[in-house]
Amino acid sequence: MKELLLALPHRDESYRVLIGPGLRLGLGYLLSPLDFPSRLFLISDSRVARLHGAAVQSALAEAGYTSTLLTTPPGERAKTWTVAQRLARELLRLGAHRASPLIALGGGVVGDLTGFLASIFMRGVPLIQVPTTLLAMVDAAIGGKTAINLPEGKNLLGTFHQPRLVVIDPDFLHTLPPKERLNGLAEVLKAGFIRAPDLLTYLETVGPSLFKNPAAVTDIIYRAAAIKAQVVAADEREAGLRRILNFGHTLGHALEQAAAFRLSHGRAVAFGMLAALILSEKLVGLPQEEAQRGRRLIQSFGLVRRAPALDLKAILAALPMDKKRLEKDLVFVLLRRLGEPVIQTGVPLTLIKEALRKVLGGGG
């Protein structure tokens, strides 16, 4: 088992992020030191509940916990106020109280929704994250951001609510569809680009057959999760450093929105990272061979095969900028070197368009 400690010094708080194959089967014992009441509530989507619910519940029972499993429909549509309210009412009916921990067992959607609920139910109850997708393991489950969606857009209602423990079992990924694995891989690449060129080298060495190598999977989860934990510990509320986690996301979010979310988050971010590499070369001196290296790596995992047919106007309209101030409001994370991010504002719209055309025209 590998272990990370996420310390939030200004609040004198910390929590552990545990990583290891098979950890889900010892979940009950991992919770014991936290002194929770013996009655626990698991929240999962119906798919994850069917695949993994029983094993996790018996692991809890083994350590003397009684658990109730509440489920949501799978996918982004569960991240709503309606579902959050329904879960809250079920929890009340089942006797949950102020000290009752909620365990999020699922991908980023379940984690965000459960975290959101845990932060407001009875003014806040303890949260444990047990991520089951690669994306959640390396990104969403660590750092305490929670959210639900509104009809106007994703993640518009949210809170910060740090978990008390994160338990990452890479064995959950055996049942995860390849498309979902790729989704998470984009965030692993991102972590490498902003902070760890050695992780990029490692990904180049293992290549796309990564998922056939369980030890390598555990290793990249550990490295990417460590980067996320470091960045969050330094800047919990995204006042500064945490912004670097948005590498590839400025355009990535706009692409997702322009595609009406038919484009997965991971692929959208991969296209966003390709464009950011081009802008980095043009604006902040990223050496051409490093940009080329980054491009090849993104392409080698099949993340940017078949560029989506999207209207440039629709993408630009989805960028978070004021019509009058235009690009002054847009914040890009660019790279001076691989592993050396810079926050850049005022990127000229003409350059953004050019980068998008290159990236979406040629695809990969």
Does the protein bind ligand ADP through residue 4 (CB under 6 A)?
no
Please give the backbone phi and psi of residue 345, each rounded to the nearest 5 degrees, phi first: -115, 170
Structure tokens at 68: 């109730």
Give residue for tokens 């902040």: 284
Candidates 25-33, 44-52, 323-331, 356-364; binding stretch for ligand ADP (CB under 6 A): 44-52
Among 96, 136, 142, 244, binds ligand ADP (CB under 6 A): 136
Is residue 280 near ligand ADP by the rule CB under 6 A? no
Closest by CA position to 60, among listed 34, 33, 30, 87: 30
Stretch in the footprint of ligand ADP (CB under 6 A) among 4-12, 134-142, 277-285, 328-336: 134-142
Amino acid of residue 144: G
Candidate list 187, 256, 281, 290, residue with the active-site label: 187
- The mark string for 220-239 relative to ligand ADP (x by CB under 6 A, - otherwise) is --------------------
Min dist CB 131 to ligand ADP, Å, is 7
Please choose, from the candidates 224, 245, 247, the residue with its C-alpha nearest in 3D space to the C-alpha of residue 335: 247
CB 187 within 8 A of CB 224: yes
Of the pair 31, 109, the CB lying nearest ligand ADP is at 109
207 conformational bin, left if phi > 0, alpha if psi -120 to 50, beta if neither = left
Q: Which residues contact 144 (CB under 8 A, 6 or more apart)?
A: 115, 160, 161, 162, 163, 232, 236
Told to check if 115 binds ligand ADP by CB under 6 A, we report no
Please give the torsion angle defined by the CA atoms of residues 325, 327, 331 and 332, in that order, rounded to the nearest 10 degrees. Answer: 180
Beta carbon of residue 20, minimum distance to ligand ADP (angstroms, whole number): 16
Choose the catalytic residue: 190, 223, 228, 267: 228
* Member of 20, 28, 74, 252 binding ligand ADP (CB under 6 A): 74
Q: Report the C-alpha gap between 295 and 331 in whole angstroms.
A: 21
Distance CA 341, CA 344 (A): 9
Between 191 and 291, CB nearer to ligand ADP: 191
Tokens of 157: 């209602």
* 45 makes contact with ligand ADP (CB under 6 A): yes
Q: Which residues ranging from 296 to 355 are in contact with ligand ADP (CB under 6 A)? A: none
Q: Does 57 bind ligand ADP (CB under 6 A)?
A: no
Q: What are the b/e assignments for 163-186, b being 16+ CB within 10 Å?
A: bbbbbbbbbbbeebeeebbbbbbb
> Binding residue for ligand ADP (CB under 6 A) from 133, 149, 250, 344?
133
Active site includes 238?
yes
> What distance, in Å, lies between the first and last C-alpha atoms of the chain?
37
246 is catalytic: yes
Stretch that binds ligand ADP, among 65-73, 106-114, 117-125, 250-258 (CB under 6 A): 106-114
User: Which one among 64, 75, 285, 362 touches ligand ADP, defined by CB under 6 A?
Assistant: 75
- 166 binds ligand ADP, rule: CB under 6 A: no
Residues identified as active-site: 123, 145, 187, 228, 238, 242, 246, 249, 253, 265
Binding site residues, ligand ADP, CB under 6 A: 45, 47-48, 51, 74-75, 106-110, 132-133, 135-136, 140, 172, 175-176, 180, 183
